Amino acid sequence: MRIKRSLMLVSVAGVLVAGALMFIFRSQPQAVVNQAPRIPEVGVVTLKAQPAALKAELAGRTSAFLVAEVRPQVTGIIQKRLFVEGADVKAGVALYQIDPATYQASLDSAKAALAKAEANLFSAKLKADRYKDLVGIKAVSQQDYDDAVAALKQGEAEVASSRAALENARINLDYTRVTAPISGRIGRSAVTPGALVTANQATSLATGTQLDPIYVDVTQSSADLLRLKRQLASGQVKGLAKSKAKATLILEDGSTYPLEGQVQFSEVTVDQSTGTITLRAVFPNPRHELLPGMYVRAILETGIDEQAILVPQQAVARNQKAEPVAMVVDAQGKVEQRRLELSRSVGNQWLVLSGLADGERVIVEGLQKVKPGAMARAVEMESPGAPADASPVKH
C-alpha cells in the first residue's frame, strides 16, 4: 500500500510540473505578440536658410610693397658709406659719397662758360641795337645790320647752351651723393669705401625695401573662380564691394596675423602650367613682422550666400560610394536618406548646395538607431548656428 501511494504522489507531481511548463511556454509568445513595437528617439536640427560669408584659404608668399636697387649714376671712387646695414632709412637720405672733385671742377668750368656767353651776348645786343638805328638813316648797310642780328641770336643760343651745361654739371655733382630712392629698410652694402663704381653699372650698391605695407600674393584655381562667377551671375552668391573684400593671414607657425588686409586685384590671365590665377592682398606691417618671401596662408572673402543651407557636420555620413548623405525625418515621422552636394565647411557645419531644403529636420543624434523607411520620434536639438566668419575652403 505504501509503495502504491508513493507512486501516485510522484505521478501527480509530474502532471503538475508538466502543466506548469506548458503554461509558461504558451504564455511567453503571447506576451511578445501583445507588446507594441517601440519607436526610437532621435535628435534633429531644423535647417534654416541664413546668410553665410564665403571664404577661401589660399597658399601664397609675401612680397615687398616697394623694392629699389641703389646704383650710381656717375663714375667715381666711393669715399664713404653713410648708412648702417639693415637700418630703416628715409627717401632722399644720403647712402654713399662718391669723390666729387672732378664734378665740382666741371661745375666751375660750366659757370665760367656761362659768364663768357652772357658777356658776348651783352656786346652783340648793344651792336644790334645801334645798327638798328643806323640802318634807318642809311649809315650802315642792310647786310651789316643783318649780321649784327644774327650774332645776337647766336649769343642767345650760346647762353642757353651754357646754362644747360651748368645744370648738367650741377646734377652730376649732386649724383656724387647717392641717396635712398624710397623709404624702407636698407640691406647689406655690396661695396666698401675705396671701390670704383661706374654710372648705371649692372651690380647694385645696396637694395632698399619698403615693408609697410606688404603684399601677399596667393593663387586660386581657375575652376573655383569660374564656379564663383556662376554663383554670382545666378544671384546665389552676393559679391563683395572691392573696399569690403577683407583678408586674414595664417603664418608659417600656425598663428594668425593680428592685422587685417584688403584684397586689391586678381590677374587677368591663367598660368598655363598650374591652371591658377594670382590674387594680391595688401596688409599693414608696422612692426615688420612680415618679411618678403615668407610662406603664408591667406583667408580671402569671396562673397556672401544670402540663402545658405548649413548642416552640422555630425549629421553627414558617407555611403558605400563615398557620397555624402544625411538622414531627415519628415512630417509623418518617417526617416529618409538624402544624398548631398557639399561646397565647403563653415565653422563646424557644411554648406549644402543640394539635397536639403529650408525647414527640413536632419538627424544629428541617434543615427545608429534608425534606417531609411523606419519611423522615428524627433526631438529638437540646439542648432550650433553659423559663425560670423565662414571657414574657408582650402587649396
Residue 390's pLDDT is what? 46
Q: Which of 15-19, 210-214, 323-327, 378-382 has the lowest mean pLDDT?
A: 15-19
CATH of the domain at 266: 2.40.30.170
Residue 224 above 90 pLDDT?
no
Residue 146 above 50 pLDDT?
yes
315 and 217, same structural domain? no
Residue 102's pLDDT is what? 95
388 and 324, same structural domain? yes
Domain end (from 305, 323, 352): 305
Tell me the pLDDT band of 391, cut-offs 50, 70 and 90.
very low
Rounded to whole angstroms, the Cα distance separating 54 from 393 reads 9
pLDDT per residue as tens digits for the range 51-108: 877 777 888 999 999 999 999 999 999 999 999 999 999 999 999 999 999 999 999 9
Residue 387 above 50 pLDDT?
no
Taking all residues of the chain, what is their mean pLDDT, rounded to a whole number? 83
Higher local confidence (pLDDT), 232 or 68? 68
**Mean pLDDT of the region 177-202:** 93
Rounded to whole angstroms, the Cα distance separating 40 from 371 reads 11
The helix or strand, by DSSP H or E, that contains position 179, with its residue range, turns out to be strand 177-179
252 and 163, same structural domain? no
- What DSSP string runs through 86-120? T-EE-TT-EEEEE--HHHHHHHHHHHHHHHHHHHH
Q: How is residue 289 annotated by DSSP?
A: -
Give the CA diameter of the chain: 195
Residue 392's pLDDT is what? 46
142-175 and 101-136 helices, crossing angle to 10°: 160
pLDDT per residue as tens digits for the range 297-327: 988 777 777 778 888 989 899 988 899 999 9
Domain count across the chain: 4
Residue 173's pLDDT is what? 96
CATH of the domain at 199: 2.40.50.100
Q: CA geometry: angle at 270 spanning 265 and 273, to 5°?
A: 135
Q: How is residue 202 annotated by DSSP?
A: S
Note down the domain range covering 189: 72-99+176-203
CATH of the domain at 153: 1.10.287.470
Residue 395's pLDDT is what? 44
Tell me the pLDDT band of 223, cut-offs 50, 70 and 90.
confident
Residue 314 in domain:
yes
Residue 388's pLDDT is what? 41
Q: CA geometry: angle at 195 spanning 189 and 200, to 5°?
A: 75
- The answer to whether 80 and 197 are in contact (CB under 8 A) is no
Residue 160 in domain:
yes
Strand 261-266 with 246-250, pairing: antiparallel
Tell me the pLDDT band of 230, cut-offs 50, 70 and 90.
low
User: What is the rounded end-to-end Cα distance, in angstroms, of the chain?
Assistant: 101
Residue 10's pLDDT is what? 47
180 and 80, same structural domain? yes
106 and 94, same structural domain? no
Residue 17 above 80 pLDDT?
no
129 and 85, same structural domain? no
Residue 7's pLDDT is what? 43
Strand 349-354 with 295-312, pairing: antiparallel
Rounded to whole angstroms, the Cα distance separating 139 from 269 reads 79
Higher local confidence (pLDDT), 332 or 270? 332
273 and 194, same structural domain? no
Residue 2 in domain:
no
Residue 231's pLDDT is what? 54
Residue 114 above 60 pLDDT?
yes
369 and 355, same structural domain? yes
CATH of the domain at 352: 2.40.420.20
Q: Which of 35-39, 92-96, 386-390 has the lowest mean pLDDT?
A: 386-390
Residue 272's pLDDT is what? 77
Residue 3 in domain:
no
Rounded to whole angstroms, the Cα distance separating 344 from 299 reads 14
Residue 79's pLDDT is what? 95
78 and 187, same structural domain? yes
| % the chain with pLDDT above 90 | 46
Residue 33 above 50 pLDDT?
no
Domain end (from 154, 187, 203): 203
Residue 276's pLDDT is what? 81
Residue 13 in domain:
no
Rounded to whole angstroms, the Cα distance separating 186 from 206 reads 7
Residue 318 in domain:
yes
321 and 271, same structural domain? no
What residue has cell string 538627424? Answer: 363
What residue has cell string 509558461? Answer: 24
Find which of 36-50, 140-154, 332-346 is predicted with most confidence, using mean pLDDT: 140-154
Rounded to whole angstroms, the Cα distance separating 145 from 138 reads 11
121 and 78, same structural domain? no
314 and 296, same structural domain? no
Domain end (from 305, 320, 337): 305
Residue 83 in domain:
yes
Residue 9 in domain:
no
